[in-house]
Structure 1
């Protein structure tokens, strides 16, 4: 049995610190190309890829996480599990990301001590709470604009991005929600230096080229 790390490694923390472009993708069942897709995105400069697909059974998700892990290692990048602390441990994930209604960051740290813990925040109060939470390694703030990946959740606009940029910078934070090439400039002007994207890459004919353009604008 593989030994479970007692804490995230310094190398993983260093990769998070330099990360700027974070992708969330589903399992790409329709396209049948998850392996090639994540390889192209990593080649284009994506720093972190999270598999987020609520339709997956645990065994299938674990198999796909093995693909993601291999590609992340080849690219010296990070891979992330959504919600499932058990799968984070079994896959050796670098990152476990949870929302406000999921396990608490402290519970995640207890169950998956070797993974960085990310937390979503949707308003200034939540953002301040997560910044002060020792078990949280990074935050996502948004959704900036409404997005079909979060049905029923309205966009919070750029004010939350500005608040994040004006607040303490002790932890990395990513703007998230409807961000693409057409509006990335607005997000950067509001003070973000890191973003999470979805459809701009999952819907791209050439995700490597799009990722490279996005990453070059993020510095």
Structure 2
């Protein structure tokens, strides 16, 4: 079967349907990166972001080649974090940016127009700004304290509820400390999309863990999936 061309329209359609977003390192300690990302995609992960501060750019691009192959096999999205140059060279579908990273305009000066942009936000005001910006999606959090963001104050589920009350017309994800036990709380607060790390990266069975998380997410209204 010929892979779907990764046009802007295809990427946006995949993003609209996306509900489960995974951030992972290169799994240098276990050496099972390819098996892991394949299992995650099989379990229902829609987007995998490679984020590993221990890798030099050259090594990172080698792992992105592996991630890209997996994303193409499964017909899913893959993302780079922070660095527009890595996103460009890896052919990533998505570049995710923090509050202190490149502006949308600066990222667009480097990236092709068919690469999606995401933005981290940590309160309602930042979320509103991201909603009105050129970003294709945004995240709110960390909902709970997480070792992946040491020193970053948790927003609590209240921030999720505040964003949900805005009824943004672009995809948004709750992030930070979400696992199979806490996902029900962010769903109750109004989230239908989540970003996870340890809930899958530290699982004995990544595929089963992804399926368990996905099963607790509400079905998106057709208008959000269109």
Q: What is the TM-score of this pair, normalised by structure 2?
A: 0.92
- Cα RMSD (Å): 1.1
Which residue pairs with 2:22 in the alignment?
23
- Check if 1:118 corresponds to 2:118: yes
CA distance in 2, matches of 1:38, 1:201: 10
CA distance in 2, matches of 1:120, 1:36: 28
Which residue pairs with 1:77 in the alignment?
76
CA distance in 2, matches of 1:106, 1:166: 28
Q: 1:99 offset after TM fit, Å?
A: 0.2
CA distance in 1, matches of 2:163, 2:137: 12
CA distance in 2, matches of 1:146, 1:8: 36
Which residue pairs with 1:127 in the alignment?
127
- Check if 1:60 corresponds to 2:66: no
Q: 1:12 offset after TM fit, Å?
A: 0.6
CA distance in 2, matches of 1:99, 1:164: 18
Provide Cα deviations, 1:158-194, integer angstroms capped at 9, x if missing partner.
1110011110321100000000001110010000000
Contact 1:8 1:116 in 2 (8 A): no
Structure 1 residues 1-219: aligned runs within 5 Å: 9-113=8-112, 114-133=114-133, 135-218=134-217, 219=219
Provide Cα deviations, 1:36-76, integer angstroms capped at 9, x if missing partner.
00000000000000001111100000000011111011111
When structure 1 is superposed on structure 2, of 197-206 and 111-120 the one drifting more is 111-120
Which residue pairs with 2:224 in the alignment?
none
Q: Deviation above 6 Å: which 4+ runs of structure 1? A: none
Q: SS of the counterpart of 2:179?
A: coil
Q: What is the TM-score of this pair, normalised by structure 1?
A: 0.94
CA distance in 2, matches of 1:103, 1:143: 20
Aligned residues: 212
Q: 1:217 offset after TM fit, Å?
A: 1.7
CA distance in 1, matches of 2:137, 2:105: 14
CA distance in 2, matches of 1:40, 1:168: 33
Which residue pairs with 2:222 in the alignment?
none
Provide Cα deviations, 1:198-219, integer angstroms capped at 9, x if missing partner.
0010000000011011112213
Q: 1:124 offset after TM fit, Å?
A: 1.1
Q: 1:115 offset after TM fit, Å?
A: 1.1
CA distance in 2, matches of 1:146, 1:205: 23
CA distance in 2, matches of 1:214, 1:156: 21
CA distance in 1, matches of 2:7, 2:110: 13
Which residue pairs with 1:3 in the alignment?
none
Segments of structure 2 that go 5 or more residues without pairing to the other structure are: 1-5, 220-226
Q: SS of the counterpart of 1:158?
A: helix
CA distance in 2, matches of 1:139, 1:109: 17
